[in-house]
Amino acid sequence: MQRYFVNKEQISEQTITLLADDAKHIQKVMRMNPGDRLICADNEGNVYLCEIQSLESDCITAVIKKQLEENAELPIHVTIVQGLPKGDKLEFIVQKGTECGARAFIPLKAERSISKWAVNKVDKKLSRLKKIAKEAAEQSHRTYIPEIGRPVSIDQLIKMSDHYHKKIVAYEETAKAGEQHALPKILNEIKANERLIAVIGPEGGFSPEEVQKLEQAGFTSCGLGNRILRTETAPLYVLSAASYHFELLKRGE
Protein backbone atom coordinates (compact mmCIF):
# COMPACT_ATOMS: atom_id res chain seq x y z
CA MET A 1 0.00 0.00 0.00
CA GLN A 2 1.20 3.51 -0.82
CA ARG A 3 2.82 5.30 2.11
CA TYR A 4 3.35 8.99 2.85
CA PHE A 5 5.28 10.77 5.56
CA VAL A 6 3.38 13.75 7.01
CA ASN A 7 4.17 16.37 9.61
CA LYS A 8 2.63 16.14 13.05
CA GLU A 9 0.53 19.26 12.40
CA GLN A 10 -1.21 17.48 9.53
CA ILE A 11 -2.55 14.83 11.91
CA SER A 12 -5.67 15.42 13.97
CA GLU A 13 -7.43 12.91 16.16
CA GLN A 14 -9.53 11.41 13.39
CA THR A 15 -8.13 12.67 10.09
CA ILE A 16 -4.87 13.33 8.28
CA THR A 17 -4.40 16.09 5.71
CA LEU A 18 -2.06 15.45 2.76
CA LEU A 19 -0.64 18.48 0.97
CA ALA A 20 1.51 19.76 -1.91
CA ASP A 21 3.62 17.03 -3.63
CA ASP A 22 1.85 14.23 -1.73
CA ALA A 23 -1.59 15.50 -2.78
CA LYS A 24 -0.39 15.71 -6.37
CA HIS A 25 1.15 12.21 -6.23
CA ILE A 26 -2.04 10.68 -4.83
CA GLN A 27 -4.14 12.18 -7.62
CA LYS A 28 -1.84 12.32 -10.64
CA VAL A 29 0.35 9.23 -10.17
CA MET A 30 -1.71 6.91 -7.98
CA ARG A 31 -5.06 8.17 -9.37
CA MET A 32 -6.76 7.47 -6.05
CA ASN A 33 -10.40 8.16 -5.27
CA PRO A 34 -12.50 8.58 -2.12
CA GLY A 35 -12.57 5.24 -0.29
CA ASP A 36 -9.05 4.25 -1.42
CA ARG A 37 -6.60 3.42 1.34
CA LEU A 38 -3.10 4.60 2.09
CA ILE A 39 -0.64 4.60 4.96
CA CYS A 40 0.59 7.73 6.72
CA ALA A 41 3.63 7.87 9.00
CA ASP A 42 4.65 10.80 11.21
CA ASN A 43 8.41 10.06 11.27
CA GLU A 44 8.18 9.75 15.06
CA GLY A 45 7.21 6.09 15.13
CA ASN A 46 3.44 6.36 14.52
CA VAL A 47 1.96 4.72 11.44
CA TYR A 48 -1.71 4.98 10.43
CA LEU A 49 -3.93 3.13 7.99
CA CYS A 50 -6.13 5.78 6.37
CA GLU A 51 -9.01 6.02 3.92
CA ILE A 52 -9.40 8.95 1.55
CA GLN A 53 -12.47 11.07 2.31
CA SER A 54 -12.14 14.03 -0.04
CA LEU A 55 -9.73 15.23 -2.73
CA GLU A 56 -9.02 18.82 -3.69
CA SER A 57 -6.20 19.82 -6.02
CA ASP A 58 -3.66 20.53 -3.27
CA CYS A 59 -5.33 19.12 -0.19
CA ILE A 60 -6.55 15.62 0.53
CA THR A 61 -8.37 14.56 3.67
CA ALA A 62 -8.05 10.96 4.86
CA VAL A 63 -9.80 9.35 7.82
CA ILE A 64 -7.64 7.37 10.25
CA LYS A 65 -8.96 3.79 10.31
CA LYS A 66 -6.40 2.42 12.76
CA GLN A 67 -2.91 2.81 14.08
CA LEU A 68 -0.55 0.10 12.80
CA GLU A 69 2.05 -1.77 14.80
CA GLU A 70 5.00 -2.03 12.48
CA ASN A 71 8.64 -2.91 12.76
CA ALA A 72 10.50 -1.93 9.61
CA GLU A 73 13.53 -0.50 11.36
CA LEU A 74 16.87 -2.18 12.00
CA PRO A 75 17.27 -2.87 15.73
CA ILE A 76 20.44 -0.77 15.77
CA HIS A 77 20.78 2.82 14.53
CA VAL A 78 23.30 2.92 11.69
CA THR A 79 24.78 6.22 10.52
CA ILE A 80 26.63 6.05 7.21
CA VAL A 81 29.42 8.59 6.88
CA GLN A 82 30.30 8.69 3.23
CA GLY A 83 33.50 10.13 1.78
CA LEU A 84 32.12 12.52 -0.85
CA PRO A 85 31.92 10.41 -4.02
CA LYS A 86 31.86 11.53 -7.65
CA GLY A 87 28.79 12.46 -9.67
CA ASP A 88 25.39 11.44 -8.38
CA LYS A 89 26.65 8.47 -6.38
CA LEU A 90 25.62 10.03 -3.07
CA GLU A 91 22.02 10.15 -4.31
CA PHE A 92 22.29 6.46 -5.13
CA ILE A 93 23.76 5.70 -1.69
CA VAL A 94 21.00 7.60 0.11
CA GLN A 95 18.28 5.89 -1.92
CA LYS A 96 19.61 2.36 -1.56
CA GLY A 97 20.94 2.88 1.97
CA THR A 98 17.47 4.05 3.05
CA GLU A 99 15.96 0.86 1.66
CA CYS A 100 18.57 -1.12 3.58
CA GLY A 101 17.75 0.57 6.87
CA ALA A 102 20.26 3.42 7.53
CA ARG A 103 19.07 5.98 10.09
CA ALA A 104 21.34 8.82 8.96
CA PHE A 105 23.81 9.83 6.27
CA ILE A 106 26.65 12.31 6.70
CA PRO A 107 28.85 13.39 3.76
CA LEU A 108 32.55 13.49 4.64
CA LYS A 109 35.04 15.85 2.99
CA ALA A 110 37.80 13.24 2.67
CA GLU A 111 41.32 14.00 1.56
CA ARG A 112 40.90 12.08 -1.70
CA SER A 113 37.34 13.21 -2.44
CA ILE A 114 37.52 14.54 -5.98
CA SER A 115 34.01 15.93 -5.67
CA LYS A 116 33.74 19.15 -3.65
CA TRP A 117 30.50 20.89 -2.73
CA ALA A 118 30.53 24.61 -3.46
CA VAL A 119 29.44 26.48 -0.30
CA ASN A 120 26.50 28.11 -2.07
CA LYS A 121 25.19 24.73 -3.30
CA VAL A 122 25.23 22.82 -0.01
CA ASP A 123 21.62 23.65 0.94
CA LYS A 124 20.29 22.71 -2.48
CA LYS A 125 22.19 19.42 -2.46
CA LEU A 126 21.01 18.57 1.06
CA SER A 127 17.40 19.31 0.24
CA ARG A 128 17.60 17.05 -2.82
CA LEU A 129 19.11 14.23 -0.71
CA LYS A 130 16.35 14.72 1.89
CA LYS A 131 13.71 14.37 -0.81
CA ILE A 132 15.36 11.16 -2.06
CA ALA A 133 15.50 9.78 1.50
CA LYS A 134 11.80 10.57 2.08
CA GLU A 135 10.71 8.89 -1.16
CA ALA A 136 12.91 5.84 -0.55
CA ALA A 137 11.61 5.59 3.03
CA GLU A 138 8.03 5.65 1.71
CA GLN A 139 8.75 3.07 -0.96
CA SER A 140 10.61 0.68 1.36
CA HIS A 141 7.95 1.01 4.10
CA ARG A 142 10.27 2.57 6.66
CA THR A 143 8.92 4.00 9.92
CA TYR A 144 11.51 6.80 9.93
CA ILE A 145 13.06 8.99 7.25
CA PRO A 146 16.85 8.87 7.60
CA GLU A 147 18.46 12.17 8.51
CA ILE A 148 20.88 13.85 6.14
CA GLY A 149 23.71 15.69 7.89
CA ARG A 150 25.76 18.60 6.59
CA PRO A 151 29.21 17.70 5.19
CA VAL A 152 31.88 17.35 7.86
CA SER A 153 35.68 17.30 7.93
CA ILE A 154 37.50 14.34 9.41
CA ASP A 155 38.20 16.34 12.59
CA GLN A 156 34.53 17.31 12.95
CA LEU A 157 33.60 13.66 12.38
CA ILE A 158 35.92 12.51 15.14
CA LYS A 159 34.49 15.06 17.56
CA MET A 160 30.89 14.03 16.92
CA SER A 161 31.70 10.31 16.96
CA ASP A 162 31.70 10.30 20.77
CA HIS A 163 27.93 10.02 20.60
CA TYR A 164 28.07 6.54 19.08
CA HIS A 165 28.39 3.21 20.87
CA LYS A 166 30.43 1.54 18.13
CA LYS A 167 32.55 3.09 15.40
CA ILE A 168 33.87 1.37 12.29
CA VAL A 169 35.78 2.37 9.19
CA ALA A 170 35.76 0.31 6.00
CA TYR A 171 39.36 0.39 4.89
CA GLU A 172 40.45 -1.21 1.64
CA GLU A 173 43.91 -2.11 2.92
CA THR A 174 42.30 -3.95 5.85
CA ALA A 175 40.13 -5.82 3.38
CA LYS A 176 43.19 -6.69 1.28
CA ALA A 177 44.98 -7.97 4.39
CA GLY A 178 42.11 -10.42 4.85
CA GLU A 179 40.71 -8.89 8.06
CA GLN A 180 37.32 -10.51 8.46
CA HIS A 181 36.49 -10.78 12.14
CA ALA A 182 36.00 -7.15 13.10
CA LEU A 183 32.50 -6.54 11.72
CA PRO A 184 30.85 -9.65 13.27
CA LYS A 185 32.62 -8.87 16.55
CA ILE A 186 31.17 -5.34 16.59
CA LEU A 187 27.70 -6.55 15.61
CA ASN A 188 27.86 -9.19 18.35
CA GLU A 189 28.78 -6.56 20.92
CA ILE A 190 26.34 -3.79 20.00
CA LYS A 191 22.91 -3.91 21.65
CA ALA A 192 19.44 -3.07 20.37
CA ASN A 193 18.83 0.68 20.02
CA GLU A 194 22.54 1.46 20.25
CA ARG A 195 24.21 3.59 17.61
CA LEU A 196 26.77 2.41 15.06
CA ILE A 197 28.71 4.85 12.90
CA ALA A 198 30.20 3.38 9.73
CA VAL A 199 32.70 5.47 7.77
CA ILE A 200 33.30 4.70 4.08
CA GLY A 201 36.11 6.20 2.00
CA PRO A 202 35.63 7.99 -1.34
CA GLU A 203 36.73 6.47 -4.68
CA GLY A 204 40.44 6.72 -3.89
CA GLY A 205 39.96 5.36 -0.37
CA PHE A 206 41.24 7.00 2.81
CA SER A 207 44.79 8.24 3.20
CA PRO A 208 46.85 6.36 5.82
CA GLU A 209 46.77 9.55 7.94
CA GLU A 210 42.97 9.64 7.91
CA VAL A 211 42.76 6.00 8.93
CA GLN A 212 45.30 6.60 11.69
CA LYS A 213 43.25 9.52 13.03
CA LEU A 214 40.09 7.43 12.98
CA GLU A 215 41.73 4.46 14.67
CA GLN A 216 43.19 6.72 17.36
CA ALA A 217 39.67 8.01 17.94
CA GLY A 218 38.42 4.48 18.57
CA PHE A 219 37.22 3.48 15.10
CA THR A 220 37.76 -0.21 14.22
CA SER A 221 39.00 -1.02 10.69
CA CYS A 222 36.72 -3.62 9.12
CA GLY A 223 37.04 -5.77 6.04
CA LEU A 224 33.83 -6.32 4.03
CA GLY A 225 34.40 -9.73 2.48
CA ASN A 226 37.05 -10.95 0.07
CA ARG A 227 36.46 -8.55 -2.80
CA ILE A 228 37.23 -4.86 -3.29
CA LEU A 229 33.93 -2.97 -3.17
CA ARG A 230 33.32 0.38 -4.83
CA THR A 231 32.63 3.30 -2.52
CA GLU A 232 28.89 3.17 -3.27
CA THR A 233 28.61 -0.59 -2.68
CA ALA A 234 30.37 -0.68 0.71
CA PRO A 235 27.57 1.03 2.72
CA LEU A 236 24.99 -1.39 1.27
CA TYR A 237 27.17 -4.30 2.35
CA VAL A 238 27.41 -2.95 5.93
CA LEU A 239 23.63 -2.41 6.12
CA SER A 240 22.75 -5.77 4.54
CA ALA A 241 25.15 -7.52 6.93
CA ALA A 242 23.53 -5.73 9.91
CA SER A 243 20.07 -6.72 8.68
CA TYR A 244 21.13 -10.32 8.12
CA HIS A 245 22.80 -10.42 11.55
CA PHE A 246 19.90 -8.97 13.56
CA GLU A 247 16.77 -9.58 11.52
CA LEU A 248 17.46 -12.92 9.86
CA LEU A 249 19.99 -14.72 12.07
CA LYS A 250 18.28 -13.06 15.07
CA ARG A 251 21.57 -12.55 16.83
CA GLY A 252 21.53 -9.95 19.56
CA GLU A 253 18.18 -11.04 20.95
Judged by beta carbon, residue 60 or residue 137, the one nearer a copy of itself is 137
Considering the complex, state which of residue 61 and residue 180 has its C-beta at the smaller distance from a copy of itself.
Answer: 180
- Please state, in angstroms and rounded to a whole number, the distance separating the CA atoms of residues 16 and 50: 8
What type of residue sits at position 176? K
Interacting residues with a copy of itself (CB under 8 A): 71-74, 96, 99-101, 139-142, 180-181, 183-184, 223-230, 233, 236-237, 240-241, 243-245, 247-250
Q: How far is the CB of 215 from a copy of itself (least distance, A)?
A: 20
Cβ neighbors of 31 (< 8 A, separation 6 or more) are none
Q: To 10 degrees, the CA torsion angle through 92, 95, 99, 101?
A: 90
Find out whether 52 and 62 touch, Cβ atoms under 8 Å: yes
- Please calculate the CA angle 34-40-43 and round it to the nearest 5 degrees: 160
Considering the complex, state which of residue 51 and residue 135 has its C-beta at the smaller distance from a copy of itself: 135
Q: Which is nearer to a copy of itself, 73 or 215 (CB)?
A: 73
The least distance separating a copy of itself from the CB of residue 120, rounded to whole angstroms, comes to 32
Q: Classify burial at 94, counting beta carbons within 10 Å of its beta carbon; exposed 0-12, middle 13-18, buried 19 or more.
A: buried
Amino acid symbol at 47: V
Nearer to a copy of itself, 15 or 243 (CB): 243
Between 53 and 194, whose beta carbon lies closer to a copy of itself?
Answer: 194
Check if the beta carbon of residue 119 is closer than 8 Å to that of residue 90.
no
Closest CA to 60 of 114, 6, 131: 6
